[in-house]
A = this chain, B = another copy of it.
Amino acid sequence: MNSEFTIHDILNFEQRYRAAFINSIGGFKSLVLIGTKSKEGQSNLAIFNSFFHVGASPPLFGFIVRPDSVERHTLSNILETGVMTINHVREDFFKEAHQTSARYPMGISEFKAAKLTEEYKSDYFAPFVKESAVKIAGELKQQIVVTENGTTIILAQMKFVSLPENCLMPDGFVDLEKAGTITCSGLDSYHKTEKLARLSYAKIDKLPDEF
């Protein structure tokens, strides 16, 4: 049996119940740690589950920042310096990744507080997470304010990418299970994955094949 809820039911949910419900109803999500640094050199690390693909040419991605949350330091650093890093989360440090969402005061780096290691590459100003297998350097391209709720969409271009060489398949596909990347649902649920299949490019005259 399915339960059905109208927008009126949902708006009447208790606030934390509604947040848990709406955050989990959309499906499994990309889970990344975003690393930034202020002009003054204070590093910052925050967990995000709203990363999305925007385009391959040029390579663009986006994510949502809620300005009234712990994410505001990430936003101010990005607006100040124009750069950030995207770091995948693995099973062996998902608790540390979750811990970065605690409300640490200014002056405390979530890297140190959550026992994750800052790493610098190719003179990039923003810090990477050493423990991550897949890492992306991003450069701010567009800031969009969502009029409905005041959140910000950050659109950024990939500047370079680092990944375990055995995860890159001959056709350009990145095998994220081999890289140990995990996914999440809701605000606090973490999941590993098991591949069902890759499917051939869909054609109108036949069903896709597994490969």
Contacts and interface: CB of A to CB of B under 8 A. Distances in A.
A59 B24 CA distance: 12
Given A160-B6, A191-B196, A142 B146 contact: yes
A10 interface: yes
Contacts of A17: 171-172
A7 B198 contact: no
A202 B201 CA distance: 42
A149 B207 contact: no
A123 interface: no
Interface of A: 1-7, 9-11, 13-32, 49-64, 66, 86, 88, 91, 94-95, 98-104, 113, 121-122, 133-134, 136, 141-142, 144, 146-149, 151, 153, 155, 157-165, 168-169, 171-174, 176-177, 181-183, 185-186, 188-204, 207-208
